Amino acid sequence: MMNPFQDLVLNLQALAAQVPELVQPLIVMLAGAVPFLEGEAGSAIGMIAGLHPVVAGVAAAAGNFLSVLFVVMLTSRARTAVVNRDRTRVGVTVGAGGSSASDHDETDAAFEQITSAKPESKGRQRFKRWLVRFGVPGASILGPAAIPTQFTSAILVGAGTPRGWVLLWQAVAIVIWTTLATVSIWAALTFVVGV
């Protein structure tokens, strides 16, 4: 007699069998690209659906990394636009009369008060502590324990960390976390569930 989890796994495998084999890893890649699911849950979905653990892990990690790459490029462009706009505004303000400079200072001060009044989430606070303590490599590797890799990469690039450095350490973190999850889930499915 099967337990409910075995029945669920077998039903999911039967559903996945209706999808062409070449498309199954693409579905796992899409799952890996979703924040909070990422490579860890993506590989679990793939293995439960019947994919080989290596294929599921690689597809999920690739999807996770592609979404991080997209976020890094988007955040980098946004940061560059803001920095360039601020430099232009400072140049214009310096050349203008003194009254407009004080107006901008008052506006900036009011904006700072509004944005600093919003409380940060516990995950973001934990991530910032890790960033200060361990730097970009440590924060990237430990970050997925607090917040998704997409958020981690956006914070790092938004703070001015070079894109290449962020992508390197996010790739390392994705490989580590996805491998740990894939091996753990494979062991659980093999030895505990018996599927």
The pTM is what? 0.76
- Residue 131 within any structural domain of the chain: yes
Residue 127's nearest CA partner among 119, 136, 118, 116 is: 136
- As a whole number of angstroms, the distance between CA 94 and CA 116 comes to 27
Residue 106 lies in a domain: no
Q: Residue 158 has which token pair?
A: 């938004």
Domain membership of residue 44 (yes or no) is yes
Q: Per the domain annotation, does 143 fall within a domain? A: yes
Residue 42 in any domain: the answer is yes
Q: What pLDDT, in 10s, does the model give residues 105-152?
A: 554 444 454 445 567 788 878 888 888 888 899 989 998 998 999 999
Number of domains in the chain: 1
In a domain, 104, yes or no: no
Residue 134 domain boundaries: 4-96+121-193
* pLDDT tens-place string over residues 154-169: 999 998 899 999 999 9
